[in-house]
């Protein structure tokens, strides 16, 4: 597998950049959702 | 309202008291915002020809607003996150007012970008055809993540106080009580909840500190990565960052002094807080002039033709008045005021902070426009002209009005001073319901 070509394709093709943006923001949403849930559930049921 | 101690009573007092003055102010601000939206629709229909933009000046007033609003947004992160990481407990009463500036200025920074686009719907091309080679995409990622993280950071630190509003403000309208109930997410204020909240906020503060550096550096790289005189310098990242923190901190002083006066928060926001901010502002002002000297001395000493066109334009040419005005407004006058008049004097502090923010807006303009008026290659052929049109000026006014509108409405429905964080600072006995927090 040619890593150089892969890196070149990532930076030079329209599309992969958008996937990165959506992944970063989507992942952040998921993490923040679970953090908020974890905080709010603290001490409940004890 | 059923506050349980004097501290709560003071801070909760502005909520549930929408006055005629508020309604008049909100109507004026909403009117300005709507005028801006109408002019933006007009610009969308007619095209960018209704602005002063023309070849080779593509980025001017709107982009100045974008950079300025992103800079203002750094106040919240700086005061709240960076000082939290540094363990500065005096920042507690200021945090929410600062974070609110972040939250309400970022959307208008993004709106300024949309205003600059002749075809705003093409913003989605960033997602559908994003190419990571482009600094614009780095910007999109960084600003998007910063906006999201700021919202979460703001909301989480507000959560215990929303629950307090839910429990204490029982005489407000039904819809308002329901809003508090929904937003409080069933918060009970247990020690474990506070412990987890502190842990998450501490962790997020470190992450936000990294984000604040990243965001404004990446914003500067939109310009710095182009091979243009005045922009293509490694110093542009730290230069933008320092300017952002300077204007953001000055904005906090202005906002806090207004809140202090209008909502009678003199006891909750004592003069010593302003003195602490004064010391920070003196440091940042000196840092800013250091950056200016380093930047222009390097460019001037190099004496490259294309760089010198821009430098001369700023020093003695068309932009000399703005350039030297900026130096006076951001450095000379504020520094003199802070040193000789600012201590224990909020009025002078506010005056200097207003000057700094006017100067910083001019600074953004000075960075953007002269370079495009004499861009690389083009400078041999001609010298372009740019002056903002009335449409650009009114949309700029609308952006500021929109931010002020959101801010003033927010302060009437939520405590602008964090009750649960400042409660820890009060002497024992002054509170009947001190939150049982533990340091994470």
Contacts of B407 (CB under 8 A, 6+ apart): B100, B101, B104, B255
Q: Which of B116, B12, B2 is nearest to B419 (CA)?
A: B12
Nearest CB to B192 within list A13, A24, A42:
A42
In chain B, domain spans: 8-411
Q: How far apart are CA B326 and CA B291, in angstroms?
A: 14
B159 to A39: CB separation less than 8 angstroms, yes or no: yes
Specify the CATH architecture of the domain B8-411.
Answer: Up-down Bundle (1.20)
Contacts of A43 in chain B (CB under 8 A): 188, 190-193
Evaluate whether ipTM surpasses 0.85.
yes
Q: Check residue B427 and give its pLDDT.
A: 46
Q: Which of A39-43, B1-5, B349-353 has the lowest mean pLDDT?
A: B1-5
Binning pLDDT at 50, 70 and 90, where does residue B430 land?
very low
Which of B110, B138, B141, B210 to probe by mutation at the A interface, max A CB count within 10 Å?
A: B141
How does pLDDT run across B299-320, given as a tens digit for each residue? 999 888 888 989 999 999 999 9
- Give the total residue count for chain B: 440
State the burial class of residue A15 (Cβ atoms within 10 Å of its Cβ: 0-12, 13-18, 19+): middle
More confident residue, B243 or B2: B243
Helices then strands (H, E): number in chain B?
17, 0
Binning pLDDT at 50, 70 and 90, where does residue B357 land?
very high
Q: Which of B51-55, B224-228, B373-377 has the lowest mean pLDDT?
A: B373-377
Q: Are B93 and B419 in contact (CB under 8 A)?
A: no
Q: Check residue B15 and give its pLDDT.
A: 82
Nearest CB to B149 within list A16, A20, A28:
A28
Residues in a beta bridge with B54: B57
Q: Which of B218-222, B374-378, B434-438 has the lowest mean pLDDT?
A: B434-438
Q: Are B435 and B194 in contact (CB under 8 A)?
A: yes
Binning pLDDT at 50, 70 and 90, where does residue B435 land?
very low
How does pLDDT run across B190-215, given as a tens digit for each residue? 899 999 999 999 999 899 888 888 88
Chain A contact for B134 (CB, 8 A cutoff): yes
Contacts of B190 in chain A (CB under 8 A): 42-44, 46
More confident residue, B359 or B433: B359
- Say if residue A13's pLDDT is above 90: no
- Give the total residue count for chain A: 46
- Say if residue B4's pLDDT is above 80: no
Answering whether pTM is above 0.80, one says: yes
How does pLDDT run across B156-178, given as a tens digit for each residue? 999 999 999 999 888 888 999 99
Q: Check residue B131 and give its pLDDT.
A: 87
Question: If contacts are CB pairs under 8 Å, which of residues 113-132 in chain B contact chain A?
Answer: 126-132
Residues in a beta bridge with B57: B54
- Say if residue B422's pLDDT is above 60: yes
- Say if residue B123's pLDDT is above 70: yes
Q: Check residue A44 and give its pLDDT.
A: 64
Q: Are B251 and B284 in contact (CB under 8 A)?
A: no
Q: Check residue B28 and give its pLDDT.
A: 97
- Say if residue A12's pLDDT is above 90: no
Quick one: tokens of B262? 């209008």
Q: Check residue B216 and give its pLDDT.
A: 84
Q: Are B390 and B43 in contact (CB under 8 A)?
A: no
Binning pLDDT at 50, 70 and 90, where does residue B438 land?
very low
- Say if residue B359's pLDDT is above 70: yes
B130 to A17: CB separation less than 8 angstroms, yes or no: yes
A15 to B197: CB separation less than 8 angstroms, yes or no: no
What percent of chain B is modeled with pLDDT above 70?
94
Q: Check residue B51 and give its pLDDT.
A: 93
Chain A contact for B192 (CB, 8 A cutoff): yes
- Say if residue B439's pLDDT is above 90: no
How does pLDDT run across B129-140, given as a tens digit for each residue? 888 888 888 888
- Say if residue B33's pLDDT is above 90: yes
Contacts of B94 (CB under 8 A, 6+ apart): B79, B252, B256, B269, B273, B277
Q: In angstroms, what separates the C-alpha of A38 from chain B's closest C-alpha?
A: 8
Binning pLDDT at 50, 70 and 90, where does residue B145 land?
very high
Q: Check residue B268 and give its pLDDT.
A: 82
Average pLDDT, chain B: 88
Q: Check residue B278 and give its pLDDT.
A: 93
């Amino acid at each position: 597998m040619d890593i150089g070509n892969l890196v070149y394709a990532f930076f030079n093709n329209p599309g992969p950049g958008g996937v990165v943006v959506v992944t970063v923001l989507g992942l952040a949403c998921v993490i923040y959702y679970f953090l908020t849930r974890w905080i709010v559930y603290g001490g409940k049921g004890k | 309202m059923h506050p349980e101690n004097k501290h709560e009573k003071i801070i909760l007092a502005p909520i549930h008291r929408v006055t005629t003055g508020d309604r008049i102010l909100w109507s004026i601000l909403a009117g300005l915002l709507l005028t801006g939206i109408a002019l933006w629709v007009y610009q969308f229909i007619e095209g960018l020809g209704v602005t002063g933009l023309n070849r080779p000046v593509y980025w001017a007033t709107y982009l100045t607003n974008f950079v300025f609003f992103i800079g203002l947004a750094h106040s919240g992160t700086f005061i709240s996150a960076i000082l939290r990481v540094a363990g500065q407990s005096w920042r507690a009463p200021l945090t929410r007012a600062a974070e609110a500036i972040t939250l309400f200025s970022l959307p208008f920074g993004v709106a300024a970008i949309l205003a600059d686009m002749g075809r705003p719907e093409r913003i989605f091309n960033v997602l559908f055809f994003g190419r990571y080679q482009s600094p614009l995409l780095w910007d999109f990622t960084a600003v998007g993540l910063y906006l999201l993280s700021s919202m979460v950071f703001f909301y989480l630190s507000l959560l215990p106080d929303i629950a307090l509003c839910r429990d204490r403000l029982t005489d407000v309208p039904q819809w308002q009580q329901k809003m508090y109930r929904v937003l409080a997410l069933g918060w009970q204020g247990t020690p474990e909840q506070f412990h987890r909240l502190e842990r998450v906020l501490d962790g997020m503060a470190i992450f936000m500190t990294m984000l604040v550096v990243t965001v404004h550096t990446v914003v500067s790289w939109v310009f710095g990565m182009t091979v243009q005189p005045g922009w293509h310098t490694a110093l542009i990242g730290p230069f933008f960052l320092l300017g952002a923190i300077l204007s953001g901190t000055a904005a906090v002083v202005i906002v806090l002094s207004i809140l202090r006066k209008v909502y009678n928060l003199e006891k909750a926001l004592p003069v010593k807080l302003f003195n602490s901010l004064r010391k920070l502002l003196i440091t940042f002002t000196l840092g800013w002039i250091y950056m200016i000297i380093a930047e222009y001395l390097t460019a001037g000493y190099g004496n490259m033709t294309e760089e010198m066109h821009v430098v001369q334009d700023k020093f003695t040419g068309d932009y000399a008045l703005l350039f030297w005005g900026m130096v006076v407004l951001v450095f000379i006058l504020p520094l003199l005021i802070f040193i000789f008049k600012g201590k224990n004097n909020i009025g002078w502090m506010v005056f200097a902070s207003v000057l700094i923010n006017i100067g910083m807006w001019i600074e953004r303009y000075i960075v953007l426009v002269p370079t495009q008026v004499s861009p690389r290659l083009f400078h041999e052929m001609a010298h372009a002209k740019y002056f903002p049109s009335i449409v650009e000026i009114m949309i700029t006014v609308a952006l500021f009005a929109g931010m002020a509108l959101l801010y003033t409405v927010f302060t009437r429905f939520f405590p602008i001073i964090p009750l649960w964080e400042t409660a820890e600072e009060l002497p024992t006995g002054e509170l009947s319901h001190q939150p049982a927090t533990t340091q994470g």
